[in-house]
Amino acid sequence: MQPKVADQPQPGEQTPAALDKAYYAALYKDELLDNILPFWVQHSKDEKYGGYFTCLNRDGSVFDTDKFMWLQGREVWCFSHMFNKIAPRQEWLDMALHGATFMEKYGRDENGNWYFSLNQQGKPLVQAYNIFSDCFAAMGFASLDKAAPSDRFKEIALTTFNNILLRQENSKGSYNKAYPGTRPLKSFSLPMILCNLSLEMEHLLGADKVSAFIPTVLHEVMDVFYQPDKKLIVENVFANGHFSDSFDGRLVNPGHGIEAMWFIMDLARRLQDPTLLRKACDIMLDTLEYGWDQQYGGILYFKDILGHPPQQLEWDQKLWWVHVEALIALAKGYVFTGDKRCAEWFLKVHDYTWQHFRDAAYGEWFGYLDRQGQVLLPLKGGKWKGAFHVPRALYQVYSTFEKQ
């Protein structure tokens, strides 16, 4: 897929800053509507027991029937969101309701916390240790309430959100394997997600509650986890916010940092804060520059902020979600700030992503590449990949370009 810009340059010329937004809007919208969403509609619905299959081979055939609550919630959100934002297609609403019915019936323990996984029939497999199951359940039911307003959907979303807030200081509770007190770390993932989740649920929480909530998550993301001397965000810090010189404390996940910055850009737009918008865009570009593999292209999965060997053996893999989140952040950065670096990086990341992750033969996109850009696993979905990052990114990019 060749990048398209206004006044396409000749080989060797400098890429112009003016992106052909109309071209990319159409390209990303067509990919979403003609390729990605039909793939999940055709292959992921479990007609016998309810809910969704997410463990799908390259051709969409099912290779495992376990159901992961965070991916169930994400798919409910996906089809509700498309129904709300693109067109009220009954097929999409039916998909969302299909997953929500299964989740509501089987997904929570006696305390209202969402299990991590169930078997095909809905019996629990893995306990409710992972708060991200709750985050995406809240997100899914909140979006579904917009598509099909229901007191039941509202109650599930709000109760789940309140449980998240109660658990946020020790989200794993009794399932936390860390020994208490020796190295008390807190993770970047939850405040990052709460930036986005609060906006997704604003119609239920109310503008005043969201406005009161925003400063806390902004502080965590932009002041606590962001390391200004390195211009990067780390994944874990001490409970008091200080840097931890340890494997976990030195860990940088470029994809998380980049994804968080488009959440912050959206918050900055809501707050009408150009300084925050500019800072988020700059951090995103710094993170992308840091994470880009200069040898083979693409964005590395993990790095150590001090340059030590990462503990994650998969540190040099190239993952789908990292690249599509970068495309969202670059599209927003370009449209919201006009920064030509965002346009140049968008073309670069677009070219890599569409060449390496998109599967022209069977639809949907691959998830996992080796460092050289070769497909590691031919699956289209599994325990970690479902109907979320790719469709959300395609929607976000096309709608960002289309509305400007």
Residue at which a domain ends, from 140, 173, 206:
173
Looking at the predicted structure, is the pLDDT value of residue 183 above 50? yes
For residue 280, the domain's CATH number is: 1.50.10.10
Residue pLDDT, tens place only, 311-335: 999 999 999 999 999 999 999 999 9
The DSSP letter of residue 403 is: T
What span, in angstroms and rounded, lies between the C-alpha atoms of 214 and 201?
13
Sort 109 into a burial class: Cβ within 10 Å, 0-12 / 13-18 / 19+.
exposed
- The tally of domains found in the chain comes to 2
Verify that 260 and 395 share a domain, yes or no.
Answer: yes
Token readout for 165 is: 């807030």
Looking at the predicted structure, is the pLDDT value of residue 122 above 70? yes
| Banded model confidence at residue 170, pLDDT cuts 50, 70, 90 | confident
Residue pLDDT, tens place only, 148-169: 999 999 999 999 999 999 998 8
Verify that 168 and 20 share a domain, yes or no.
Answer: no
What span, in angstroms and rounded, lies between the C-alpha atoms of 382 and 389?
13
Residue at which a domain ends, from 120, 141, 173:
173
Q: What range does the domain containing 146 cover?
A: 50-173
pLDDT of the residue at 368: 98
Looking at the predicted structure, is the pLDDT value of residue 9 above 70? no
Domain assignment present for residue 105? The answer is yes
Token readout for 41 is: 């509609």
Residue pLDDT, tens place only, 233-244: 999 999 999 999
Domain assignment present for residue 2? The answer is no
Residue pLDDT, tens place only, 72-113: 999 999 999 999 999 999 999 999 999 999 999 999 999 999
pLDDT of the residue at 47: 98
Sort 176 into a burial class: Cβ within 10 Å, 0-12 / 13-18 / 19+.
exposed
pLDDT of the residue at 176: 87
pLDDT of the residue at 403: 84
Domain assignment present for residue 178? The answer is no
pLDDT of the residue at 171: 84
Looking at the predicted structure, is the pLDDT value of residue 12 above 60? no
Verify that 235 and 353 share a domain, yes or no.
Answer: yes
Token readout for 398 is: 């096309």
Nearest to 142 by CA among 73, 188, 193, 90: 73
Looking at the predicted structure, is the pLDDT value of residue 269 above 70? yes
For residues 43-60, give the mean pLDDT: 98
Verify that 145 and 212 share a domain, yes or no.
Answer: no
Looking at the predicted structure, is the pLDDT value of residue 372 above 50? yes
Verify that 100 and 149 share a domain, yes or no.
Answer: yes
To the nearest 10°, report the CA torsion of 144, 256, 265, 31.
-60
Give, rounded to a whole angstrom, the gap between the first and last alpha carbons of the chain. Answer: 24
Crossing angle of helices 69-85 and 389-402, in 10° steps, is: 20
pLDDT of the residue at 11: 30
Domain assignment present for residue 24? The answer is yes
Residue pLDDT, tens place only, 204-217: 999 999 999 899 99
Verify that 107 and 190 share a domain, yes or no.
Answer: no
Verify that 110 and 252 share a domain, yes or no.
Answer: no
pLDDT of the residue at 404: 63
Verify that 94 and 227 share a domain, yes or no.
Answer: no
Token readout for 278 is: 């500019």
Verify that 167 and 299 share a domain, yes or no.
Answer: no
For residues 121-138, give the mean pLDDT: 96
Verify that 41 and 92 share a domain, yes or no.
Answer: no
Verify that 303 and 239 share a domain, yes or no.
Answer: yes
Mean pLDDT score of the chain, rounded to an integer?
Answer: 94
Spatial CB neighbours of 273, under 8 Å, sequence gap ≥ 6:
none
Residue at which a domain ends, from 144, 173, 202:
173
Verify that 245 and 391 share a domain, yes or no.
Answer: yes
